[in-house]
C-alpha cells in the first residue's frame, strides 16, 4: 500500500483565516484575503513578524483552527486505499505540538497516531507522496510532491497542484486506476 504524507497548516487546518483575524484584531489593521494573494502577512508587515509569531505560537491558537473544507471526507476515503501519514512542521512552534496532536485526535479520529509525524525539514519523511502548501518542503521531499493551493503560493510553479480536496481525491483516484 502506498503512503501519502499530509501537511496540517493550510492543507488540513485553516491557519490562514484564523491568523488573519488574529493579526487584524491584535494590530488594529484591516488586511483582507485579497490583499494576501501571492503573499504572506509578514511580506507586507515584516516589522510585525516577531510579535505575530509570539501571539500565534500558542497551544490555544492551533487547537481551535477550523478544518479545511473536504479534508476529512477525502482523507477518510483515501485511507481505504493508501497509508495516511500526517507530517507537520512544528519546529517553529514547539508550544503547539500537543495542541496539534489533540486537534488531529478530535477531527481525524479515524487516523492511526502511529503515523503522526512532527518534524522540521520534510526530507526526513519516508512516503510516496507529500501534500503540502510550502514549496520549500516539496523541494526537500524526495518523492512526488503535490502543491496544495494556499493564498501565498498561487504564483508558484510546481508540476502537480491541487486547488482543493476534491482535486486531491481525483488525483489519487487516477493514480489508483493507473496502478
- Span from 35-43, 48-56, 98-106, 164-172 in contact with a copy of itself (CB under 8 A): 98-106
Are the C-beta atoms of residues 161 and 35 closer than 8 Å to each other?
no
Q: Which is nearer to a copy of itself, 63 or 161 (CB)?
A: 63
Kindly state the cell numbers that stand for 98: 500537543
Q: Is 119 helix (H, G, I), strand (E, B) or coil?
A: strand
Phi, psi of 45 (to 5 degrees): -125, 65
Using the rule CB under 8 A, which residue among 112, 136, 160, 163 binds a copy of itself?
Answer: 112
- Determine the distance from the C-alpha atom of residue 142 to the mean position of all C-alpha atoms in its chain, rounded to a whole number: 18
Closest CA to 50 of 81, 73, 27, 29: 27
Q: Which cell numbers in the block locate residue 123?
A: 526530507
CB of 166 to a copy of itself, least distance (A): 27
Candidate ranges 10-18, 63-71, 90-98, 170-178; the one touching a copy of itself (CB under 8 A): 90-98
Binding status of residue 97 toward a copy of itself by CB under 8 A:
yes
**Looking at the annotation, which residues are catalytic?**
7, 9
Residues binding a copy of itself (CB under 8 A): 3, 5, 85, 87, 90-91, 94-95, 97-98, 101-102, 112-121, 123-127, 142
Amino acid at each position: 500500500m502506498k503512503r501519502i504524507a499530509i501537511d496540517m497548516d493550510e492543507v488540513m487546518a485553516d491557519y490562514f483565516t484564523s491568523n488573519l483575524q488574529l493579526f487584524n484584531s491584535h494590530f488594529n489593521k484591516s488586511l483582507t484575503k485579497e490583499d494576501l494573494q501571492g503573499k504572506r502577512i509578514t511580506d507586507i508587515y515584516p516589522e510585525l513578524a516577531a510579535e505575530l509569531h509570539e501571539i500565534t505560537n500558542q497551544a490555544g491558537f492551533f487547537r481551535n483552527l477550523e478544518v479545511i473544507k473536504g479534508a476529512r471526507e477525502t482523507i477518510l476515503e483515501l485511507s481505504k486505499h493508501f497509508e495516511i501519514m500526517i507530517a507537520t512542521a512544528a519546529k517553529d512552534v514547539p508550544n503547539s505540538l500537543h495542541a496539534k496532536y489533540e486537534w488531529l485526535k478530535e477531527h481525524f479520529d479515524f487516523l492511526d497516531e502511529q503515523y503522526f509525524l512532527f518534524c522540521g525539514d520534510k526530507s526526513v519523511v519516508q512516503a510516496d507522496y507529500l501534500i503540502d502548501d510550502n514549496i520549500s518542503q516539496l523541494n526537500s521531499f524526495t518523492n512526488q510532491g503535490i502543491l496544495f493551493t494556499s493564498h501565498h503560493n498561487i504564483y508558484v510553479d510546481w508540476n502537480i497542484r491541487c486547488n482543493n480536496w476534491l482535486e486531491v481525491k481525483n488525483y489519487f483516484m487516477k493514480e489508483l486506476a493507473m496502478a
